[in-house]
């Protein structure tokens, strides 16, 4: 199904700076991010709910907000996070831009519909210690997005980082209907499984949602994550394994931290993809999403060519 107003929404996202209450012509520090979230919550008490999930290894705040027109506990929930990898700062800004966009555009019909039917949980910083140090890992040199349980690895052998234990606890408490983990370092959309070539039971649903999301972002790459490269312990596998959460990775830019002059366009593209994904979930839940069946072709299951960064990341599994 194609909503009549989707094109208008995406046009507004990608062409208008007025939709955003903060500027994305420079990267934001953690104090600035926290202040922005607190201000949005104070100014919009019936829409934005601010929470501190806990603290990182080095004692930094790990915050999130819930944006919804209804009571969050009474609605199905969608979760979007950024910065599992601290040097992928475009992902932080993408989540921050989405929060700001949802608040500023809450009266647009499709946005109002979305916020009336779902509680949207948004966490800009999973790994604030890595973000502060501008490096991939956490304070102990561990990769947060390799720390989750997955089929074949038990909980007791996972969750060694405080930040990921917090994400685990939130995921288990809320049992999200759907989720996106924003990353940067390539351009594409990936879905579970990352640890195995086995097709997930919801392969066709994932394929359809990933195609919608990628197209909204002007990207041509969308694959099962394993077909990009195998990875053990990713968020998307844990969320899908544990609660059937339709969880995908969205890589928003080829550069983990693009030049500041490119940031505004990257953020708007991330917002467009995230909104497309959430509207796709809403259509799916209403039985109105046209699922692409029998979508596996040879090119869908062969990894696409990557830059040298691919080899680097494979060495970090």
Chain segment 159-200, per-residue pLDDT in tens: 999 999 999 999 999 999 999 999 999 999 999 999 999 999
Write down the mean pLDDT value for the chain: 89
What pLDDT is recorded for position 303?
Answer: 40
% the chain with pLDDT above 70: 86
Residue 13's pLDDT is: 56
Domain contains 5:
no
What DSSP assignment string belongs to 131-167? HHHTSSS-TTS--GGG-S-BTTB-GGGS--SHHHHHH
Virtual torsion, Cα 82, 86, 87, 90, nearest 10 deg: 20
Instruction: Specify which residues 284 forms β-bridges with.
Output: none
Give domain status of residue 81, yes or no: yes
What's the average model confidence in pLDDT over 41-64? 97
pLDDT above 50 (res 5): no
270 part of a folded domain: yes
Beta-sheet pairing, 119-123 with 186-191: unpaired
Q: Residue 284's pLDDT is what?
A: 98
| Contact status, residue 123 vs residue 80, Cβ threshold 8 Å | yes
> Which one, of 247, 265, 129, lies nearest residue 182 by Cα?
247
The model's pTM: 0.90
For residue 15, pLDDT over 60 is answered with no
59-106 confidence digits (pLDDT tens): 999 999 999 998 999 999 999 999 999 999 999 999 999 999 999 999
**How far apart (Å, rounded) are the C-alpha atoms in residues 118 and 98?**
15
- Structural domain count of the chain: 1
Cα torsion angle, 232, 233, 239, 241, sign: positive
Question: What angle in degrees, to the nearest 10, is found between the helix axes of 162-174 and 235-243?
Answer: 30
Asked if residue 22 is part of any domain, the answer here is no
For residue 23, what pLDDT is reported? 85
Mean local confidence (pLDDT), 27-49 = 97
CATH number of the domain to which 43 belongs: 3.40.630.10
10, part of any domain: no
Asked whether residue 282 carries a pLDDT value surpassing 80, the answer given is yes
Q: Say if residue 313's pLDDT is above 70.
A: no
DSSP state, residue 77: E
Q: Would you say residue 275 lies in a domain? A: yes
The CA distances from residue 168 to 22, 150, 190, 308, in Å, are: 30, 12, 20, 32
Q: How confident is the model at residue 298 (pLDDT cuts 50, 70, 90)?
A: very low
Q: pLDDT tens for residues 251-267?
A: 999 999 999 999 999 99
Query: pLDDT tens across 200-245, in order?
Result: 999 999 999 999 999 999 999 999 999 999 999 999 999 999 999 9
Q: How many CB atoms lie within 10 A of CB 220?
A: 11
Residue pair 83/92 in contact by the 8 Å Cβ criterion: yes
Domain that holds residue 228: 31-314
């Amino acid at each position: 199904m194609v909503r009549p107003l989707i094109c208008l929404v995406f046009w507004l996202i990608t062409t208008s700076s007025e939709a955003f209450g903060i500027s994305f012509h420079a990267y934001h520090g953690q104090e600035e991010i926290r202040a922005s979230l607190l201000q949005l919550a104070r100014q919009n008490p019936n829409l934005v709910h601010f929470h501190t999930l806990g603290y990182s290894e080095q004692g930094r705040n790990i915050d999130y907000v819930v944006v919804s027109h209804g009571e969050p506990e009474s609605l199905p929930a969608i979760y979007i996070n950024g910065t599992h990898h601290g040097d992928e700062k475009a992902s932080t800004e993408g989540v921050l831009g989405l929060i700001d966009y949802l608040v500023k555009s809450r009266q647009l019909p499709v946005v109002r519909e979305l916020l009336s039917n779902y509680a949207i949980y948004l966490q800009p910083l999973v790994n604030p210690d890595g973000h502060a140090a501008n490096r991939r890992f956490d304070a102990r040199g561990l990769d947060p997005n390799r720390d989750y349980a997955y089929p074949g690895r038990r909980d007791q052998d996972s969750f060694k980082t405080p930040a990921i234990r917090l994400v685990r606890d939130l995921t288990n408490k809320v049992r999200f209907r759907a989720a996106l983990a924003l990353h940067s370092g390539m351009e594409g959309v990936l879905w579970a499984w990352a640890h195995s070539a086995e097709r997930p039971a919801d392969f066709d649903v994932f394929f359809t949602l990933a195609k919608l999301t990628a197209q909204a972002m002007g990207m041509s790459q969308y694959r099962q994550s394993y077909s990009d490269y195998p990875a053990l312990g990713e968020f998307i596998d844990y969320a899908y394994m544990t609660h059937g959460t339709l969880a995908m990775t969205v890589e928003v830019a080829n550069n983990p931290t693009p030049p500041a002059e490119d940031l505004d366009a990257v953020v708007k593209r991330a917002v467009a993809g995230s909104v497309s994904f959430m509207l796709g979930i809403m259509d799916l839940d209403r039985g109105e999403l046209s699922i692409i069946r029998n979508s596996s072709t040879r090119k869908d299951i062969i990894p696409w060519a990557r830059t040298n960064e691919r080899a680097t990341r494979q060495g970090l599994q």
